[in-house]
Amino acid sequence: MSSRFSTEQSLADKIKAEASRLGFYRCGVAEAAPVGGKAAGEFARWIASGCHAGMDYMAHNTDKRLDPALLMPGVRSIVCVAMAYAPPRTMPEGEYQIAAYALGRDYHDVMKARLRSLAAAMERLFAEAEAGKAASGLPALAMRVFCDTAPVLERYWAWRAGLGWPGRNRQLIIPGAGSMFFLGEVFVNRSLPADSPQEPRCGTCRACIDACPTSAIADGGPLDARRCLSYLTIEHRGPLPAGVENVVGNSIYGCDRCQTACPWNRLAPVATDPELQPNAALLAMTKAGWHNLSADDYRRLFKGSAVKRAKYEGLMRNIRAAEACGEV
């Protein structure tokens, strides 16, 4: 083993240790090469078939999604992290349900702050490793952090970084831990030893496919957002498509059915971060309270929450649909 590789591996190990200290469940490294082959083809077909539904932003900046160097010139490595969000408590059974990831504070805020802390630690570690090497021609250290707000194929890079594999429900599944994780990345213009992607371990299991109430998940095919309750109850604007009211059930924001059906999620670690703990006021809500929710109540209840994505009008639309579904 060359001394250079040994130094880079030691640096990668220290970065992973810092990620663990900051509360990330898993950390890995991918080489920042253009996305090609099967992954690029699948993404192009997903867009061309319209399976991205009304998420027009997914069809924009495709060149940057497929080449990280266009998003950050000079990037050499992508440090990928995962943070557990499975809540210790959920909405009471029989009450309206909100997707587990949205029961605490908005993950964008939590993850971005933690990623910036990781980037600061990486800056220190690189400075220590490169002390006295200014004459070696290294460019000035540069980094960017991302979490679901830029044209980054997050699950692809998490797979390339060895965190897990893309399951049949298109969620990243971490072995021994499941898929209830937030993902984030630090782009850096330094080379670090890349981890190895993992082979899928779903086997012949079809639990997620069978659990999907709208057949949005196809075996071997793309996830069709036009039929996905998570998309329809969060991103979709206007009336819900005909027939959806019959399958909404108690879901008024998002849908966890494909995840709760996944055997790997029986092993999901519970979120320990204080900011990701469920909002007590939210857990105390009853159907009667939801039916009488005012716009002011909505703003108070969901201050600093990801549920704001659906807006008040969208949430009330979902509540009406769930109420009608319960009357059928």
Can you tell me the distance from the alpha carbon of 30 to that of 73, in angstroms, rounded to the nearest whole number? Answer: 16
Per DSSP, what are the bridge partners of residue 174? 178
Listed residue (172, 244, 169) closest to 213, CA to CA: 244
Work out the angle at residue 12's Cα, subtended by the Cα atoms of residues 32 and 16, and round it to the nearest 5 degrees: 105
Work out the angle at residue 153's Cα, subtended by the Cα atoms of residues 49 and 63, and round it to the nearest 5 degrees: 70
Listed residue (269, 248, 98, 260) closest to 182, CA to CA: 269
Residue entry with tokens 């849908």: 255
Known catalytic membership, residue 148: yes
Catalytic residue among 109, 148, 210, 256: 148
Can you tell me the distance from the alpha carbon of 36 to that of 42, in angstroms, rounded to the nearest whole number? Answer: 10
Question: Six-digit token pair at 59?
Answer: 């069809």
Residues designated catalytic? 148
